[in-house]
Chain A
Amino acid sequence: MMIMLHSVSRNLICTISASFLPRTCAVQQEVLPELPYDYNALEPVISAEIMLLHHQKHHQAYVTGFNKALEQLTTASDPRAIVALQSAINFNGGGHINHSIFWNNLAPPKEGGGEPPEGNLASAIESQFGSLDNLIAKLSASGAGVQGSGWVWLGLIKDSKLLKVETTANQDPLAAKGLVPLLGIDVWEHAYYLQYKNVRPDYLKNIWKVVNWSDVAKRYDSA
């Protein structure tokens, strides 16, 4: 008896036959998304060197790692092996998700980077934080306070449409905290070290010049 099973993950389409026949799965490979601008487009806020390494090395490594972990998952036979892959899937998958959002959250100034938000998001920020400056101050302070590696987020509580500043550790996706990610700032050291060294607050002070608030607003409206 053959059962077609579309699993929760859209990457795995498995056919499960009778128990004595092996399971076969077609795994859809994730691909590194293209950067929506040139590597030097965010200068002088973020250097071309950092953008190149961050996109082509770090993000690519998450994609590669995620695909490898998924493939191992299809051949894992016992619960222990499957559970052991959880951290690799979470880390690499989370890294891929987070960075895919990040590249679109940023834009060169000539393409709208740094311009304040408009519309529904702007009203929500005004009413919930008082002003955009207040929100930015809160995000920067939270980002500076992340110990170790992680992200600072502007997230959305879907039911109440309330905005929330939140942080995540390592590559944990914001969804794990029950929030829709609108804007994420990477505060892993690889995101700024070559340029800002240990002075993370300077990176956080400058990044607002290239934040693409219209992308953030789009996520807010479509959530």
Chain B
Amino acid sequence: MATCTSSLFYGPRLLPLSGRRSSPELSWRPQQVVLPMAKFELRTPPYALDALEPHMSKQTLEFHWGKHHRAYIDNLNKQIDGTDLERKNLEELVKLSYNNGNPQACFNNAGQAWNHDFFWSSIYPGGGGQPVGEVLELIERDFGSFEEFAKEFKAAGVSQFGSGWVWLILKDAKLSVLKTSNALNPLIWGYIPLTVVDVWEHAYYLDFQNRRPDYLNTFLDKLISWEAVAGRLARAKAFVNLGEPTIPEK
């Protein structure tokens, strides 16, 4: 996601005059210091642009990934060029630029760049259906049943008035559904995102026009990658205790 191009940075470094260890005199000598500068790149989705047909058209991918997502990356790079923010990775940049609710200028592009990367990895050809194993267990534990989860997820999608996203997140060691507007994402509140659906109109208008409920059904029935959710959950467990039993003391 971030490629580093190094550049030479001449900066002052205080160095004692050689040979005089106890001398209080200090001199300035220019020193070559190489600092990594990050320029974000548009990462291709892990499938061909027509691989999600007929559920998400090639045309949608060409515009959504090829134009919208690309523009967020390009504009983000322009905004952070020559600033301190250039040395952050994207996740750091999102949290930093959110600035506790008083977002900086580049937050919109940073958030959207991150969100779209996450979205492309949240869907897969042949996706959809129900999860298995621990993901299903946790869904049943925290929502009652898969059907209840699906109902809540879709209701959040249709009630997100305007542009935004609907997430399945891990919050306080529990699964829950979260809807966010525009570029906001769960990272800014310290929650762990497990999957997402984009409900900006550009995500579905070419394929579904105004029929957002149909799009949400298709997302759950045909697109969502439960494998991705399982992988993210496994990584999250490195940071969150989901209530596994501890070794009993003697």
Interface range on chain B (Cβ under 8 Å from partner): 10 to 19
Give a binary string over A31-70; 1 marks a CB under 8 Å from any B CB, 0 the rest.
0000000000000000000000100011001000000000
- Do B161 and A148 touch (CB < 8 A)? no
For residue B76, CB closer than 8 A to chain A, the reply is no
Contact of A189 among B67, B181, B202 (CB under 8 A): B202
Chain A residues whose CB sits within 8 angstroms of the CB of B209 once the complex forms: 53, 57, 190, 194
Residues of A within 8 A of B71 (CB): 198
Whether A197 lies near B63 (C-beta < 8 A) is yes
Complex Cα distance, B212 from A58, in Å, reads: 11
B68 surroundings in chain A (CB, below 8 A)? 198
- Docked Cα-Cα span, A174 to B180, in Å, equals 23
User: When the two chains form their complex, are residues A194 and B162 in contact, meaning their CB atoms are under 8 A apart?
Assistant: no
Closest approach, in angstroms, between the C-beta of B207 and any C-beta of chain A? Answer: 11
Q: How far is the CA of A150 from the CA of B200 in the complex (A)?
A: 12
The answer to whether B210 has its CB under 8 Å from any CB of chain A is yes
> CB distance B210 to A170 under 8 Å?
no
Chain A's closest residue to B161 (CB) is A91
Question: Which residue from chain B places its CB closest to the CB of A191 in the assembled complex?
Answer: B201
Write the A128-148 contact mask toward B (1 if CB under 8 angstroms, else 0).
000000000000000000011
| Interface flag for B73 (CB, 8 Å) | no
Q: Which residues of A contact B63 (CB under 8 A)?
A: 197-198
> Is B206's beta carbon under 8 Å from chain A?
yes
- Cβ of A171 under 8 Å from chain B: yes
Query: Which residues of B from 119 to 163 have beta carbons under 8 Å from A?
Result: 161-163
Size bracket of the A interface: 20 to 34
Q: A170-B162, A198-B67 are in contact. Are A58 and B210 (CB under 8 A)?
A: yes
A147 to B63 Cα, complex, angstroms: 18
The CA-CA distance from A104 to B215 in the complex, in Å, is: 31
Of A58, A148, A190, which is within 8 A of B182 by CB?
A148
Q: A61-B210, A147-B183 known; A189 and B161 CB under 8 Å?
A: no
The answer to whether B108 has its CB under 8 Å from any CB of chain A is yes
- Inter-chain CA distance A190–B161, complex, in Å, is 13
Tell me the complex Cα distance, A62–B162, Å.
12
Across the interface, which residues of B come within 8 angstroms of A189, CB to CB? 163, 200-202, 205
Q: How far is A148 from B200 in the complex, measured between Cα atoms in Å?
A: 8
* Segment 94-151 of A: residues with Cβ below 8 Å from B: 147-150
Please encode chain A, from 188 to 200, with 1 for each CB lying within 8 Å of some chain B CB and 0 for all others.
Answer: 1110011001100
| Residues of the B chain whose Cβ atoms lie less than 8 Å from the Cβ of A91 | 161
Asked if residues B182 and A198 are in contact (CB atoms below 8 Å), the reply is no
Distance of B111 from chain A, by nearest CB (Å): 10
- How near does chain B come to A5, taking the closest CB pair, in angstroms? 30
Please measure, in the bound complex, the distance between the C-alpha atom of A103 and the C-alpha atom of B202, giving whole angstroms: 23
Please tell me which one of the listed residues B161, B164, B205, B206 contacts residue A171 in the complex, with CB atoms under 8 A apart. B161
B162, A87: Cβ atoms under 8 Å? no
Select from chain B the residue with minimum beta-carbon distance to A61. B210
Q: Which A residues are CB-close (under 8 A) to B164? A: 148
Interface set of B (CB-CB < 8 Å, partner A) = 63, 67-68, 71, 108, 161-164, 181-183, 200-202, 205-206, 209-210
Q: Other than the known A148-B163, A188-B201, what 8 A-B pairs have Cβ atoms closer than 8 Å?
A: A58-B210, A87-B161, A149-B163, A171-B161, A171-B162, A189-B202, A194-B206, A198-B71
Residues on A facing B (Cβ under 8 Å) = 53, 57-58, 61, 87, 91, 147-150, 169-171, 188-190, 193-194, 197-198
